[in-house]
Chains A and B, each alone.
Chain A
Amino acid sequence: MILLLALAFSISAKDTPDDGGGSITVNVYNIPEGTARIELSRLEKGDTLFKEAGLISIFKGECEDVSVIDGVEYLYRGKAIAKDTFYIAEIKGFVTSSPQWFNKSRTTVLIFLILFGSVVLTYIQLAKKNPEGLFIRKLPALDAIDEAVGRSTEMGKPVLFVPGLEAITDAGTLASLTILEKVGKKVAEYGSRVIHPNFDPIVMTTAQETLKTAFAEAGRPDAFNKDDVFYLTYEQFGFAAGVDGIMLRERPGAIFLQGYFYAESLILAETGYSIGAIQIAGTNATTQLPFFVAACDYVLLGEEMFAASAYISREPRLLGSIKGSDLAKVVLLFMIGAGVIFGTIAGIAKQGGNPAYMQIFNKMLEFLARGAK
């Protein structure tokens, strides 16, 4: 075997940029012909022996060592192994890893966030000054709430409200609590009963408080039964089985499926349909919407849930968010429209021998793509 300190074969290492630390990126250059693999080893400052640190891809010429500790200094050595020989290269000086405060690759996201955030904050301020001045169209499912609770009361049956399977951090769960307040008030006014099984304990306690407030506001605090808001289980299909059982035994006249749901959505909606209850669903889980559309009488599709909760509460923060996101949609439509027109012009100009516009257009796409990574 011949040991060669090849000048051409070289290696460099640097702290991986735009990360949370704990990673050093190693690059190799001028990989000798016939190299089968490149072994990476590293020496920790103060140690005397190099330790294995993985393999470097021959095709990429790069590898990320994610087993390093921030602040510790390392010296890297690459060993390119060919059939009968090997080549060794070392980096110049020690290198350390550290986390970065700012991820430059997310600049596009920051720009969009500031843009949309300021629009929403402006609308929140406007809504605080004059909440009635901000128009939000009424959704048909909201009228159906009164109808469903009324029909259920006439039939002498309770109302079932299922808040989904997400925690209180989910926007859909928060919106469902606003809808619960409206349902609770109607139930209290009509002297009916609302059953509220829960998947998450924090959602349960929040729902208890929400319903308690709703019954008090309707002038029937005595009618609120805390035991009607109860915990079932933290297991998806265990919860679905439990709710199905409640549907069959309690036979509610109206069922509200409001919140974030997963694969159990169709099981719940089908069981509700089979007992003949009016079903009003609403979810921000786009993958489950088709099942609710197929099996429920009324459905709040995605963002409609948030609009409904803003419409009901007239809460400035919710109103401002809906108005802000509406404006953001207009801005996005204009952006897409402008992109389409500019892209077409750039394409025609390129065919006519002027690639300058296409270069600008590609830069624009690159800027967006950076944000999408």
Chain B
Amino acid sequence: MSISTSIWVWMAALLTLMVYSFLYKDNPFYRLAEHIFMGLSLGYTLTILWYNYIIPRVYEPLFLPPHQWSLIFPILLGMMTFGIFSKKYSWLIKYPLAFYVGGYAGLRIPLLLQSWIIRQVEASFLTPDKFTSLMSSINAILIFAGLFATLIYFYFSKKREHGFGAAAQVGIVFIMVAFGAAFGYTVMARISLLIGRMQFLLHDWLGIM
């Protein structure tokens, strides 16, 4: 057993234990860790914004040669966001927001259409080559039935009655099976995070492992 002598390891270990104390109940140690974490993260974000965005993307191109005067327009657009702090000029925020939302939608919609719709339609076609073995046949039919029932579950223009309601029920079963699998998979990943923390406490800090 060789306990670490590094002050940073001790600090990280104590903060880890402070956060884990939350598992028992809220206490001053957890609160201390929580406020340190939040304060540090906020300060860190501000520093990153200052050194990675404001200085290289605003100050340097604008005030150092060769001056990129065209940047004044996006900078002004961004500064209009601060209009929210004044009752008189709060309407100014609409313009950067409209630009931001419109641009983002324009970039995202074609990508989502590609990966979430066209790709799925293409993959859902049942062709004879998907029936080469018993397992692949069952798989193909299950995927098709699941897709059909799930789409019905997310159909909002009709009341869930009779056959339509039954199909939606089948849809939710498929959705829950998928959620169950995703849940189990993620819990496994979280356990590996816990193992990592335990290794840090028992090996790096206490040196007993």
Contact = CB atoms under 8 A, between A and B. Distances in A.
A291 B110 CA distance: 29
B125 A242 contact: no
B42 A235 contact: yes
B114 interface: yes
Interface stretch (B55-63, B69-77, B152-160): B152-160
Contacts of B180: 290
A322 interface: yes
Given A235-B44, A241-B37, A304 B154 contact: yes
A205 interface: yes
Interface in B100-155: 100-101, 104-105, 109-110, 113-115, 117-119, 121-122, 124-129, 144, 147-148, 151, 154-155
Given A234-B45, A340-B125, A340-B144, A301 B175 contact: yes
A169 B121 contact: no
Q: How large is the interface on B (under 10, 10 to 19, 20 to 34, 35 or more residues)?
A: 35 or more
Given A169-B101, A242-B34, A249-B26, A372 B122 contact: yes
Contacts of A360: none
Choose among A266, A301, A344, A372 the residue with the greatest number of B CB atoms under 10 Å from its CB: A372
Interface stretch (A18-26, A31-39, A81-89, A108-116): A108-116
A345 to B, nearest CB: 10
A343 B126 CA distance: 7
B67 interface: no
B208 interface: no
Given A301-B175, A340-B144, A347-B128, A168 B100 contact: yes
Interface in A147-167: 167
Contact of B42 (A234, A339, A369): A234
B105 A238 contact: no
A119 interface: no
Given A109-B114, A202-B81, A329-B155, A289 B179 contact: yes
B182 interface: yes
B22 interface: yes
A303 interface: yes
B179 A293 contact: yes
Contacts of A339: 121, 124-126
B93 interface: yes
A348 B128 CA distance: 8
Contact of A244 (B22, B25, B144, B175): B22
A333 interface: yes
Nearest to B45: A234
A365 interface: yes
Interface of A is mostly: helix
B54 to A, nearest CB: 15
Interface in B1-33: 19, 22, 25-26, 30-31, 33
A294 interface: yes
A270 to B, nearest CB: 10
Nearest to B111: A109
A329 B126 CA distance: 18
Choose among B38, B101, B159 the residue with the greatest number of A CB atoms under 10 Å from its CB: B38
A108 B118 contact: yes
Contacts of A205: 84, 93
Interface string A261-272: 000001000000
Contacts of A335: 121
A323 B157 contact: yes
Interface in A55-86: none
Interface string A338-373: 011001101110110000000001000100110111
Interface of B: 19, 22, 25-26, 30-31, 33-34, 37-38, 40-42, 44-45, 81, 84, 93, 97, 100-101, 104-105, 109-110, 113-115, 117-119, 121-122, 124-129, 144, 147-148, 151, 154-160, 175-176, 179-180, 182-183, 186, 190
Given A109-B114, A238-B41, 5 more contacts: A112-B113, A137-B160, A235-B41, A238-B42, A361-B127
